[in-house]
Structure 1
C-alpha cells in the first residue's frame, strides 16, 4: 500500500511514472523535521492495537497464564471495557461472576481500576497520562526521525508562511534538493544537457537556478535582496539566512519569487518562452496578494475597487421603452493589448 501511495505522489502530471525523488520513510518524517508528515501505515497499525483489548484473544489477566478460559457467547468479539459499569471506572461484579468461571472471575476482579495513592502506570506522552493513538504514533516517529535527518533548518517558519500550499511544497523540494534540475536528472541517469536553460553558462542546480544565476540575481535585486555571499553554497543555507533577516511579509515574497522563477524556467524548457525579471517579480507579488485576499473572508473584491463616492452608485433597471447600454474595458500589460465590450 505504501508503495502505491509513493508511486501516486511522484507520478507525472501527464500520468507517467515520474521519478521517486525520496524514500517513503523520509516522506513520513513530520513536517517540523523536514518531511511531509505522511502516515506510516505499519506504525499506525501498531499503535492502534493499544486502544482495544480483546477479552478472549489478548493476554490481559494477572497470571502466568494470562488468557481467559471461559467460552461464552456474550464475550466473543468484545473488548474489556464491556465488563465495566457504563460511564464508570468500575467492574460490573455481577456480570463478571455470572459469565466467567470462578478462576477467571477472581483474576478479573483482582485488577484494580480506581486510582489510589500507590504508584501506578501512566502514559508519559500525554498531559493527562492516558494512552492515545496520536501520541503513541508521534513517539514512534520521534525515535525514527532522530536518525533520519540531522539538520537545524527552521521548518516551522516555512510551513507557517501564509502562501499557497503548492509554493510551500515547492520550497520543501528545493530545500531537500529534489527538484528536477539538470544536475539531479543526470544523477538519475536521465540524458540531458547539464547547462542552465536560462543563462546557458553553468551547470543547473537548485542553488544556481534560484540564487546564483544572473537572471535570479536580477530578480533578487528588483525585490531589494542583497547580493549572494560567497560562503553560501547551497539553497538550504541561503534560505536559512533569508529566514533570519526577513520579516514575514518579505519572506513570503522571497518564496513566491522562488516559485515564480521556477515557473518561468519551466516555461522556457517546455514552451520556449519566458518573461523578464520584472515580470517574474510582479507576477509573484500579484499571486501572493490574490491568494491572501481570497483567504480573508472580510475582503470584498467589489468594494476594494470603489471609493466612497462610487459607493453611492448602483446599477438600475432601464425605464420601459428605453435601451440601456452597459460597457466595460480592460488593459492587459503583459500582452500589450486591451479589450472592451458592451451589452444592451
Structure 2
C-alpha cells in the first residue's frame, strides 16, 4: 500500500510564509529538507556511529522522532493547545506530521487556532533536545509550551 505524501513545495511555501523569525523559518526549511544534524543523519554522513535517540534511547533519532514521536515530544504535543493527528497517532512521515501541524487552521476552521505558535513550539522542542544533549538540561513539558508561547508573543509584539 502506497501512502500519499504531502507536497514538499506547499510545505516549503508554508515555512517561508510563516509569521515567525527568519531563524525559525530556516529551521523549518532544514526540517523539510532533512538536513538537521540529528543522530540518524549524522550516522548516514559517517559523522557519528550511534543513531539512537539521546533522550529516550529507544528509537533512531531522526527529525520526525525528535519533533513528533519521541515520548518527550509526544507529551509536549499532548499538552499543547493543538489537536492531535487523526486517531491521536503521529505519522511515520515527517512531512505528513508537518503538514498536519502547519495546517491546523484549515483542519479546524471553526476554532481559533494559534497557528503562529506551531513553528515556535517545533523550535523549542529542537532547542530543548540540543540543550539536553550538550549541557544536560532537561525542560519541563509545560515550561516548554510556555516558553514557545513567550517566544511567539515576543515576535508578534516586536517593533
1:65-122 CA-to-partner distances (Å, cap 9, x unmatched) read: xxxxxxxxxxxxxxxxxxxxxxxxxxxxxxxxxxxxxxxxxxxxxxxxxxxxxxxxxx
- Unmatched 5+ residue regions in structure 2? 1-6, 107-111
2:37 to 177, 180, 191: 180
CA separation in 1, counterparts of 2:60 and 2:19? 32
CA separation in 2, counterparts of 1:236 and 1:220? 16
1:242-267 CA-to-partner distances (Å, cap 9, x unmatched) read: 23333696222111111001101010
Q: Which structure is larger by alpha-carbon Rg, 1 or 2?
A: 1
- Unmatched 5+ residue regions in structure 1? 1-149, 296-344
CA separation in 2, counterparts of 1:212 and 1:231? 7
Aligned residues: 146
Q: Specify the alignment match of 2:79 in structure 1.
A: 222
Q: TM-score, normalised by structure 1?
A: 0.40
Q: Specify the alignment match of 1:235 in structure 2.
A: 94
1:262 to 94, 116, 126: 126
1:235 Cα deviation from its structure 2 partner: 1.6
CA RMSD of aligned residues (A): 2.1
Q: TM-score, normalised by structure 2?
A: 0.82
1:207-240 CA-to-partner distances (Å, cap 9, x unmatched) read: 0100011111111111133344557222211111
Q: Which has the higher helix share?
A: 2
| Pair 1:159 & 2:16 matched | yes
Q: Specify the alignment match of 2:54 in structure 1.
A: 197
Question: CA, structure 1 residues 208+231, in 2 after alignment: closer, same or farther (shift >3 Å)?
Answer: closer
CA separation in 2, counterparts of 1:270 and 1:231? 27
1:292 to 121, 138, 156: 156
